């Protein structure tokens, strides 16, 4: 289940998302410093992506996360599809395509940290993967 504060943030594209105010803007963190402090390779990959915009780092981050947390890539993708289903029910099909890139990075980092911390109020691992995949898609990862 995707948590819902009941408040919406609307973007120029018309896309909506649950408000981010009060959740932290994780995309504004100096991710290179945070990755060094935590010695976390996932955060390191996201830092490289943030600094260089190279989508390959998103692919690496996704595969590293899946390899440790799922029995197979197929299991991860099927789990991920549940988040797409729940998001479509909550916001409409393909609403995510109108969201700004920063929202995906911020949310990915936040969900990853909550996953690592062991929060179980929602499926943070699934939400992390969703944000990475959506960021790759809006960056044109079809090639």
**pTM of structure:** 0.84
- Kindly state the tokens that stand for 97: 């395509």
Q: What is the pLDDT of residue 11?
A: 66
Q: What is the pLDDT of residue 143?
A: 43
Write the CB contacts of 82 (distance below 8 Å, at least 6 apart in sequence).
123, 126
C-alpha of 33 from chain center: 20
Give CA–CA dist 22/57, Å, rounded.
28
Domain boundaries, the chain: 27-138
Q: Which of 40, 14, 19 is nearest to 29 (CA)?
A: 40
Q: What is the pLDDT of residue 142?
A: 44
| R_g of the chain computed on alpha carbons | 14
Tens digit of each residue's pLDDT, the chain (143 residues)? 666 656 666 666 666 666 666 788 888 899 999 999 999 999 999 999 999 999 999 999 999 999 999 999 999 999 999 999 998 888 878 888 888 899 999 999 999 999 999 999 999 999 999 999 999 999 875 44
Give the 3-state secondary structure of 55-121.
CHHHHHHHHHHHHHHCCCHHHHHHHHHHHHHHHHHHHCCCHHHHCCHHHHHHHHHHHHHHHHHCCCC
């Amino acid at each position: 289940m995707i948590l819902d504060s009941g408040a919406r943030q609307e973007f120029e594209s018309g896309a909506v998302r649950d408000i981010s105010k009060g959740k932290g803007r994780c995309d504004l963190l100096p991710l290179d410093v945070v990755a060094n402090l935590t010695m976390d390779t996932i955060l390191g990959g996201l830092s490289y992506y943030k600094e260089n915009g190279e989508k390959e780092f998103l692919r690496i981050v996704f595969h590293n996360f899946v390899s440790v947390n799922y029995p197979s890539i197929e299991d991860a993708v099927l789990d991920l599809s549940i988040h797409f289903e729940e998001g479509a029910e909550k916001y409409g099909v393909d609403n995510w395509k109108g969201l700004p890139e920063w929202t995906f990075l911020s949310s990915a980092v936040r969900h990853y940290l909550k996953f690592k911390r062991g929060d179980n109020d929602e499926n943070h691992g699934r939400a992390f993967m969703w944000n990475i995949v959506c960021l790759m898609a809006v960056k044109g990862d079809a090639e």
